[in-house]
């Protein structure tokens, strides 16, 4: 009887503590806001792009480091699909030039792989499998580089999607940096 009473008392106290913890207002240093965004982005190689992406997302307000990683990951997923669509359209317009045409065909293949790898990264991030995130993001970056280098094999040609792929590459690099912080156990 006595031990049950103690157990109940303990449970009540525990629940109260939990309540208190849950209600503690979150300070800017532990979550969300521009402090966390600035701090996080300063550890990436493209801090301006990082800040632009995060500040323009309504979800970044109140987000922790993991939440910020998810935002950039979603941007990468949108990006890779829309680049694929762009290549598709470009190819439609340039089928006269057989070299360009074959490069674009290779690029579609590379970007299909990159789309799959970004999907795998999204899933890996959901499971907080940070090593897998690193693996898949790196693979996507390498596929995109393969696409770009194809155009350089013939003189006088330039990748018509160089600008887009460079932005995508930077987004991936930002994800790798934030993922690195997460894998080191940082939560804020």
Ligand X SMILES: *[C@@H]1O[C@H](CO)[C@@H](O)[C@H](O)[C@H]1NC(C)=O
Give the binding site for ligand X (CB under 6 A): 53, 75, 79, 82-83, 86, 88-89, 92, 164, 167
Distance of closest approach, residue 161 Cβ to ligand X, in angstroms: 8
Measured from the CB atom, is 20 or 96 closer to ligand X? 96
What is the nearest approach in angstroms of ligand X to the Cβ of residue 186? 24
Smallest distance, ligand X to C-beta of residue 88, A: 5
Task: List all residues 6 or more positions away from 169 whose beta carbon is below 8 Å from its beta carbon.
Answer: 141, 144, 145
Nearer of residues 111 and 188 to ligand X, judged by Cβ:
111
The residue (of 46 and 157) whose beta carbon lies closer to ligand X is 46
> C-beta of 46: minimal distance to ligand X in Å?
11
> Cβ 164 to ligand X, closest distance in Å?
5
Q: Which is nearer to ligand X, 53 or 178 (CB)?
A: 53
Our CB check for ligand X shows the closer of 86 and 146 to be 86
SS3 annotation, the chain = CHHHHHHHHHHHHHHHHHHHHHHCCCCCCCCCHHHHHHHHHCCCCCHHHHHHHHHCCHHHCCCCHHHHHHHHHHHHHHHHHHHHHHHHHHHHHCCCCHHHHHHHHHHHHHHHHHHHHHHHHHHHHHCCCHHHHHHHHHHHHHHHHHHHHHHHHCCCCCCCCHHHHHHHHHHHHHHHHHHHHHHCCCCC
């Amino acid at each position: 009887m006595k031990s049950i009473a103690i157990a109940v008392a303990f449970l009540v106290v525990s629940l109260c503590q939990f309540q208190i913890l849950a209600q503690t207002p979150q300070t800017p240093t532990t979550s969300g806001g521009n402090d966390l965004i600035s701090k996080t982005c300063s550890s990436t190689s493209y801090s301006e792009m990082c800040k632009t992406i995060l500040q323009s997302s309504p979800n970044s307000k109140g987000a922790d480091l993991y939440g910020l990683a998810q935002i950039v990951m979603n941007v990468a997923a949108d990006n890779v699909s829309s680049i694929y669509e762009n290549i598709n359209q470009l190819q439609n317009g340039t089928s006269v030039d057989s070299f360009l045409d074959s490069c674009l065909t290779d690029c579609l293949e590379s970007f299909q792989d990159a789309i799959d790898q970004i999907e795998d990264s999204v899933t890996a991030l959901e499971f907080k499998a940070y090593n897998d995130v690193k693996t898949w993001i790196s693979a996507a970056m390498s596929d995109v580089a393969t696409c770009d280098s194809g155009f350089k094999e013939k003189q006088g040609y330039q990748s018509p999607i160089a600008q887009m792929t460079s932005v995508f590459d930077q987004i991936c690099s930002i994800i790798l940096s934030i993922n690195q912080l997460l894998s080191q156990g940082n939560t804020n």
